[in-house]
Structure 1
Amino acid sequence: MDYADLDAVTWPYQLTNVVHRDLYPTVEPSQPHLSAVGRTVLITGVSGGVGKAIAEAWAIAGASAIVLTGRKVDVLNDVATKIRRVAKLPSTKVLIQPADLKSETSVRQLWDTTAAEIGKIDVLINDAGSMNYAPVGGIEPSEWWNDFEVNVKGPYLMCHYFLKQVEAKGTIIFVGSGTIGSIFPNMSSYTSSKLAQTKLMEFLHVENPDIRCFTLLPGLLKTQMTAEAYLPFARDDPMLTGGVSLFLCTPRADWMRGCIMSVNWDIEEMEAHKKEIQQEGRNKLAFLNAKLGKGGHPWET
């Protein structure tokens, strides 16, 4: 890898000429156009760095209620303390509810408690994730499959109960991964599960016209899941994910529904090329790198 270019790992996934690795005005949580006043949000995976940043962004934007869930109660308490401190509104309600997202019973209890304490949830952000790092056959099958339990079953259960709400409307955001477009040895369970997760988002989009669905790529961050070789390139601010998650809940992002959005992409540049992006599906999953249709692919040779 070219260590002289600290964007080298970001370029292969870059849709726009302009690359963002820090907050900029369009996605700055304190900006009035990103106001979350009157909205409720439930965020999974708050024990991790991205989840914490998302929760902080929604507090700064003035959300009426924020539900925090994860496995570590002490971390949830720490996050709750911080977001209460930075919250735009002193009336913002913060609910801590630990849950095992692989257990339907636990997820059902999470939603029952949320309904009783908060009421209807407007925005669900599926951030919880798991990543094994081993070649196929290098770990026990149950360990390999755990990534699917956390990255696919967990979000599915959360979406299931989101949709069970009375007159369910709002936004569901899946925090995905740019790895779904590449093959990195030792990451088969993680990449495959994240690819399946993104396909789940597409089905939700098609089947539920009242629900706004997105997959959000958080960039490259310094987390416990980041491989050592990539740490020098892990320069993205976690708050970018928080800011973009707020943006995706605004009418301005309606044309991106059912698509992938990366925190590194420039929103204004995408809007300038909106017609091409929509017509050509520039921010959607692709089946094959070929023009499939009547007569087959137009061969160049």
Structure 2
Amino acid sequence: MTKIKDKVAIITGATSGMGLETAKRFLSEGARVVLTGRDQGKLDNLKGELSGDYLLVKAEASNLDDSRQLIEQTVSTFGKIDILFLNAGIFRLEAVAELSPEIWDEVQNINVRGPLFTAREAIPHMNEGGSIIFNTSVVNGKGFPAMAAYASSKAALRSVTRILAAELGEKNIRVNAISPGPIETPIYQKHNVAQEQIDGMASNFPAMVPLGRFGKSEEIAATALFLASSESSYINGAEIPVDGGFAQV
């Protein structure tokens, strides 16, 4: 347990899927981990599932007051921050003809505004050598029907990654992104359309992936660990695809 031992990590959207697996991996490496979620019940259920030095904080990803309180609680409990994994997000499917300003705002607020301003709140409290990681998506570089709001939000995060990397280099804080492809995650049960439509879309993914399968949340966690640790000390402003080749070939 040496890669991030005793480091303080915040992981947003950590009650399930990629966020939860990353929290478990970080804890197993000896990190002190703050997990957020917007459902207090789900947070409470994690108490019997986690081991190590952790803190559970109820926080809505798009709520700036929640972001401020998250950072305040982290600092008051653990001191400075070393790792910030901005993983929380929402998945929506609407063709442009059906897209409303309200849906657009909801997706952008949760997927872009929230992570950006959470990072802004955290930066003054981050140790030199710290690591900020955004969770983007392969859809930010490909065109899929009904993903105008979702894909554009992930493309915005890719741009934010570059900008913050340029701004924070002098502080020796690295900023990178993980770009997941099709991953086995509860996001496929969190959406706004008929489950049959999601299942049909998902069933086509393995044939589009050179490795012929869905990825696993544990594979995202392993990449997050790499980017959080000193083993990636000269990687900055990058987006690391974890997609089995989906968007690469």
- Identity over aligned pairs, percent: 26
Greater mean deviation of Cα atoms: 251-260 or 36-45: 251-260
User: For residues 80 and 176 of structure 1, do their structure 2 counterparts lie closer, same or farther at Cα, with a shift above 3 Å needed?
Assistant: farther
Partner of 1:205: 165
User: For residues 101 and 168 of structure 1, do their structure 2 counterparts lie closer, same or farther at Cα, with a shift above 3 Å needed?
Assistant: farther
AA aligned opposite 1:216: I
- Equivalent residue pairs, number: 227
How far, CA to CA, are the matches of 1:241 and 1:256 in structure 2? 17
Contact residue 132 and residue 144 of structure 1 kept, 8 A: no
Deviation at 1:99, TM superposition (A): 0.8
Contact residue 9 and residue 85 of structure 2 kept, 8 A: yes
Partner of 1:25: none
Deviation at 1:106, TM superposition (A): 1.6
Of Structure 1 and Structure 2, the greater strand share is in 2
- What is the alpha-carbon root mean square deviation over aligned residues? 2.1
How far, CA to CA, are the matches of 2:83 and 2:123 in structure 1? 11
Render the CA deviation track for 1:126-168: whole Å, top value 9, x for unaligned. 0001121011141431112211101110111111011121656
* One of 198, 202, 206 as aligned partner of 1:231: 202
Contact residue 50 and residue 241 of structure 1 kept, 8 A: yes
Which entry has the higher C-alpha Rg, 1 or 2? Answer: 1
Contact residue 61 and residue 89 of structure 2 kept, 8 A: no
SS at match of 1:256: coil
Contact residue 12 and residue 88 of structure 2 kept, 8 A: yes
Partner of 2:229: 250
Q: Does 1:220 align with 2:182?
A: yes
How far, CA to CA, are the matches of 1:66 and 1:119 in structure 2? 12
How far, CA to CA, are the matches of 1:70 and 1:44 in structure 2? 7
Mapping for residues 13-162 of structure 1, pairs under 5 Å: 35-63=3-31, 65-84=32-51, 92-162=52-122
Deviation at 1:40, TM superposition (A): 0.9
| Structure 2 length-normalised TM | 0.84
Deviation at 1:51, TM superposition (A): 0.8
SS at match of 1:122: strand
Deviation at 1:53, TM superposition (A): 0.7
User: For residues 170 and 67 of structure 1, do their structure 2 counterparts lie closer, same or farther at Cα, with a shift above 3 Å needed?
Assistant: same
Q: Structure 2: 5+ residue runs without aligned partners? A: 189-197, 207-212
Render the CA deviation track for 1:45-67: whole Å, top value 9, x for unaligned. 1133111111111111111x110
How far, CA to CA, are the matches of 1:213 and 1:171 in structure 2? 6
Of Structure 1 and Structure 2, the greater helix share is in 2
Deviation at 1:36, TM superposition (A): 1.9
SS at match of 1:240: helix
Render the CA deviation track for 1:202-231: whole Å, top value 9, x for unaligned. 000001111111110233123343332343
